Structure 1
Amino acid sequence: MNNVFSYNADIEKNAYLNWRTSKHDHIHNMIVLADGFMSAATLLAKQVLLDNVDKKADLLIFPILFNANHGIEVYLKAISWSLNILNNTGKRFDPHHKLNKLLEKNISLVNTFENDSEKLKTFNSMIDPLEKYLNELSSKIESVTDKGKEVYKIDFSRYTLDVKNEPQFYINEFRNVVVDIENFIVVFESIHTSLNNIANHYLYYNEEN
C-alpha cells in the first residue's frame, strides 16, 4: 500500500493540493478551499439522490452539512479580508465561527465601501438565500444561557454532544429532524454561486486597484 501523499501513474487519478493555490495570494487560496468545501457538499448530496435505498443519507448528511457550513465560513472570511483592504481598516477577518455574525460584518463592510445603490441592491439580492438559511440555522443552534451568554453550536454536524456534553438539537427530538436533500442542493448551489461571485468580485477589484 502506497503513502496517501504519493503519485498515481494515471494523472487523472491525482489531486494536486497546490495546483489551484498560490503562495502570493492568500485570499485567493481561501476562495479555492471554500469552493472545494461547498462543491463537496453538493456533489455528495447529488450522489445520495442517485441511490438512497440503503438510507446512506442519514449518515452522509453530517459531512454534507459540515462541508456546506465550513464553505460558507471560509467564503465570508475571504470576502471580509478583501473588503477590509478596500476600506483600509487594517484588519483581516473576524476569527470566530458564528456565520450570522460574519455575514453581518460583510454587509456592514459592503455598505461602507459601495456608493452605488444598484450595486447594493444586487448584493442584497445575492445574499438573500444565505440570510434565510442562516436565520433558519440560528433558530436550531443558537441560544442564550441564564447568564445572558450567547451560545452558537456550529459543531452540531461534527459531534452529537456540545462542548458542555449536552446533546445537540436533533438528539432529544421525539419527532424526526429532516433535511430535504433535493431542496438542499437547490438552496446551496444558489448560495455557493453567489458567495463565489462576490468573493471573486472583491478579490479582483483589489488586484485592479
Structure 2
Amino acid sequence: MKNIFSYNSDIDKNAYMNWRTNRFDHIHNMHVIAEGFMNSAISLAQTCLKDNRDKKADMLIFPILFNLNHGIEVYLKAMCWNLNQLLNKTETFESSHNLKSLLAATKKLTVDFDNRTEALQWSLRLEKYIDELYTKMETVKDNGKKVYDITFARYSLTRDLEPQFYITELNNVVIDLENFLQFFTEVYKDLDNMSSYLLDILDQRNELKSEMESEYYSNL
C-alpha cells in the first residue's frame, strides 16, 4: 500500500492541507481549520439525511457534534485573536474549551471594537445553542458543584469515568437532523461571515501600515 501522505495523479482526488493556509498568517489559518470542522459537521448531517435506513446517524452524530463544537471553538478563538489585534492588545485567546466563556470573551471584544447593537447579530443563534448545550451537559456533584463536560461527543465517560448525560438519561436523547441542518447552516454563515469580515479589516489595516512604513523609509 502507498503512503497516506502521497499524491494521486487526479488532482481532484487529493486533499492539500496547506493549499488554503498561509505560512505567515496564523489567524487566517485558524479560520481555515474552523471552516473545515463546521463544514464537515454539516456535510455529515446531510449524508445522514439523504439515506438513514441503516441508522448510521446514531453513530455519526458523535463526530458531527464533535466537529461542530470544535469548529465553533476555533472560530471564537480566531475572532478573539483578531479583535485583540484590531484593539491593539497583546492577548490572543483564552486557552480553554469552554464555549460559554469563549463566546462571552468574543462578544465583549466585539462590543469594544464596535458598540453598535447590530455588531452582535452574529452571536444570537450561537448563544441559543450554547445555552441549550450547557443545560444538557450539566451534572451536579455531591458537593453541589455544577460540571459541564464538553468531551461528551468524544467519550462515553467523563474525566471522572462517570457516564455522560446521554448514557444515564432514561428517555431517548434525540437530535432532529433536519432542524440541526437548517439551524447550523445559519450559525455557520454567522460565524464565517463575521470571522471573514474581521480578517478583511485586519488585512486592510496591515496593508495600510506596511505602505506607510514603506513610504516613510523611502523618504529617509
Q: Cα RMSD over matched residues?
A: 1.3
1:29-71 deviation per Cα after TM superposition (whole angstroms, max 9, x unaligned) = 0000100000000011001011111111100000000000000
Match of 2:47? 47
How far residue 107 of structure 1 moved from its aligned partner, in angstroms, is: 0.7
Give the alignment's TM-score, normalised by structure 1.
0.94
Which segments of 5 or more consecutive residues in structure 1 lack a partner in the other structure? none
- SS of the residue corresponding to residue 170 of structure 1 reads helix
How far residue 145 of structure 1 moved from its aligned partner, in angstroms, is: 3.8
The whole-number CA distance in structure 2 between the counterparts of 1:187 and 1:113 is: 27
Which segments of 5 or more consecutive residues in structure 2 lack a partner in the other structure? 206-220
The whole-number CA distance in structure 1 between the counterparts of 2:112 and 2:140 is: 30
Give the alignment's TM-score, normalised by structure 2.
0.89
How far residue 94 of structure 1 moved from its aligned partner, in angstroms, is: 0.2
The whole-number CA distance in structure 2 between the counterparts of 1:7 and 1:36 is: 21
How far residue 123 of structure 1 moved from its aligned partner, in angstroms, is: 2.9
Match of 1:130? 126
1:151-205 deviation per Cα after TM superposition (whole angstroms, max 9, x unaligned) = 2210000000011000000001111000001111111111111101111111111
The whole-number CA distance in structure 2 between the counterparts of 1:162 and 1:36 is: 26
Identity %: 52
Amino acid at match of 1:63: P
How far residue 97 of structure 1 moved from its aligned partner, in angstroms, is: 0.3
Amino acid at match of 2:166: Y
The whole-number CA distance in structure 2 between the counterparts of 1:200 and 1:168 is: 35
Structure 1 or 2, whichever has the larger Rg, is 2
- SS of the residue corresponding to residue 20 of structure 1 reads coil
How far residue 148 of structure 1 moved from its aligned partner, in angstroms, is: 6.1
Match of 2:22? 22
Aligned residues: 205
- SS of the residue corresponding to residue 151 of structure 1 reads strand
1:93-130 deviation per Cα after TM superposition (whole angstroms, max 9, x unaligned) = 00100001100001111111114x2xxx3233221110
The whole-number CA distance in structure 2 between the counterparts of 1:143 and 1:172 is: 11
2:185 corresponds to which of 185, 189, 197: 189
Task: Point out which structure has higher relative CO (alpha carbons under 8 A, 6+ apart).
Answer: 1
2:153 corresponds to which of 138, 141, 157: 157
- SS of the residue corresponding to residue 166 of structure 2 reads coil
| Alignment pair present for 1:177 and 2:176 | no
Extract structure 1 runs of 4+ deviating beyond 3 A.
142-150
Check whether the contact 2:111–2:119 (CA below 8 A) recurs between aligned residues: no
